[in-house]
Amino acid sequence: MENELYDFTIIGGGPTGLFGAFYAGLRQMKTKIIDSLPQLGGQLSALYPEKHIYDVAGFRKVLAKDLVSELSEQALQNNPTVCLEEKCITLEHIDGEIVITTNKATHRTKTVLIAGGVGAFAPRRLELPGITELEGKGVHYFVTDTERFRGRRIVIVGGGDSAFDWSLALGEIAASCIQIHRSATFRAHEDTVSKVQDGGNVDIRTFHELRGVHGTDCLEAVTVVDTQSGEETQIVCDDVILTLGFLSNLGPIKEWGLALQKNQIVVNAHMETNLPGVFAAGDICTYDGKLKLIVTGVAEAATAANFAKTTIDPTAKAFPGHSSDMK
């Protein structure tokens, strides 16, 4: 019910928020998840459900959509209320409660965990003549279905984790796969880089940049330039995948009175923000030594849930005991 008072309300339904909901359930807190997307899973569901993830505990590698499925099943076992396609607009402290207003409803809660990832996100687009007209017709900023690239000629642009992950996954099924990057320094996991370099399925060209796209009804070729020699080359291809990162925006969260640092919410060791009863975890928060990884995000969510329990009930201990001991 809209007017019910919850113990723990989570803003964000990605991996961090889902694990926070699971842990809140272990602590027998009445929990709610609010997310702006139409499905749980955050970026994993929205942007790359078929991307393999290699750095979460318990999995040698796991498809993002399968990880979301497991996290969702784990989170929902204690029946939290889930509110999808709701954008949080305001957060206020009123009469000892925290009141969250969305585009659809008003939510009352004792504590809050902000686990909104990078906030609202959009791919960083490349400014080239004709490229906008070819989006979805051979120009892609993310991959939701790997099979559509089977047997096709692909160019991947970028030197980060996404670029190498897609090279690793698509190099095995594509007719050809060329990866270009503007330097010889990569920002991806060393292990993934080595697998792509040693696999023999991908032609990696460093010191190359995309300079043009060509085609009318669909992509037919791209022009790349060797930034050291200035030589331009036209590559016939069916698809170009641009992994240039994302532009994020905290949106209304900026107006909630939270202490911010470089578009991130500042937290302490308990994952507490400067606002009473408000916690943050995952990519949206920052502290000294912060690493933006799924594994650290879920650990932060567990910390936040346990200390939220002590906020609600000062007689409770933050340490929950071991889950294997719980009945």
Q: What proportion of the chain, given as a percentage, has pLDDT over 90?
A: 85
| Nearest residue to 196 (alpha-carbon basis) of 239, 237, 167 | 167
Q: Do 35 and 178 belong to one domain?
A: no
Q: Please check the confidence at residue 163 and state whether its pLDDT lies above 90.
A: yes
Q: Do 11 and 117 belong to one domain?
A: yes
Listed in sequence order, the DSSP H helices in 200-325 are 294-312
Task: Transcribe 61-127 into DSSP letters.
Answer: SEEHHHHHHHHHHHHHTT--EEE-S--EEEEEEETTEEEEEESS-EEEEEEEEE--TTSEEEE----
Q: Do 231 and 270 belong to one domain?
A: no
Q: Please check the confidence at residue 327 and state whether its pLDDT lies above 60.
A: no
Weakest-pLDDT range from 59-73, 116-130, 273-287, 308-322 = 116-130
Listed in sequence order, the DSSP H helices in the chain are 15-26, 43-46, 64-76, 161-170, 190-199, 294-312
Q: Which of 198, 217, 242 is where one domain is finished?
A: 242
Mean pLDDT computed over every residue of the chain: 94
* Cα–Cα distance list, 113 to 97, 192, 282 (Å): 14, 33, 10
Q: Do 106 and 201 belong to one domain?
A: no
The arrangement of strands across the sheet holding 203-206 comes to: 139-140, 239-242, 153-157, 176-181, 203-206
Domain count, the chain: 2
| Nearest residue to 278 (alpha-carbon basis) of 253, 295, 244 | 253
Residue-level pLDDT at 117? 86
Tell me which of 311 and 263 has the higher pLDDT: 311
Q: Which of 214, 242, 270 is where one domain is finished?
A: 242
The predicted model gives 268-288 an average pLDDT of 97
Q: Do 272 and 313 belong to one domain?
A: yes
Q: Which of 242, 274, 301 is where one domain is finished?
A: 242
Residue-level pLDDT at 326? 58
**Tens digits of residue pLDDT in 190-215:** 999 999 999 999 999 999 999 999 99
Residue-level pLDDT at 118? 78
Q: Do 137 and 104 belong to one domain?
A: no
Q: Please check the confidence at residue 1 and state whether its pLDDT lies above 60.
A: no
Q: Do 117 and 252 belong to one domain?
A: yes
Residue-level pLDDT at 2? 58
Q: Is the Cβ–Cβ distance between 293 and 317 less than 8 Å?
A: no
Q: Do 49 and 107 belong to one domain?
A: yes
First to last CA, the chain: 28
CATH no. for residue 56?
3.50.50.60
Residue-level pLDDT at 212? 97
Q: Do 98 and 42 belong to one domain?
A: yes
Q: Do 250 and 236 belong to one domain?
A: no
The predicted model gives 123-140 an average pLDDT of 94
Cα–Cα distance, 188 to 8 (Å, whole number): 35
The predicted model gives 90-116 an average pLDDT of 97
Q: Do 46 and 146 belong to one domain?
A: no
Q: Residue 10: CB partners within 8 Å, gap ≥ 6?
A: 17, 20, 21, 24, 31, 32, 33, 34, 80, 112, 113, 115
Residue-level pLDDT at 325? 66
Q: Which domain range does residue 257 map to?
A: 5-121+246-325
Q: Strand, coil or helix: what is 195?
A: helix
Q: Do 214 and 258 belong to one domain?
A: no
The predicted model gives 130-138 an average pLDDT of 96
Verdict on whether the full-model pTM lies above 0.85: no
Q: Please check the confidence at residue 36 and state whether its pLDDT lies above 80.
A: yes
Q: Please check the confidence at residue 120 and state whether its pLDDT lies above 90.
A: no
Residue-level pLDDT at 175? 98
**Tens digits of residue pLDDT in 51-91:** 889 889 999 999 999 999 999 999 999 999 999 999 999 99
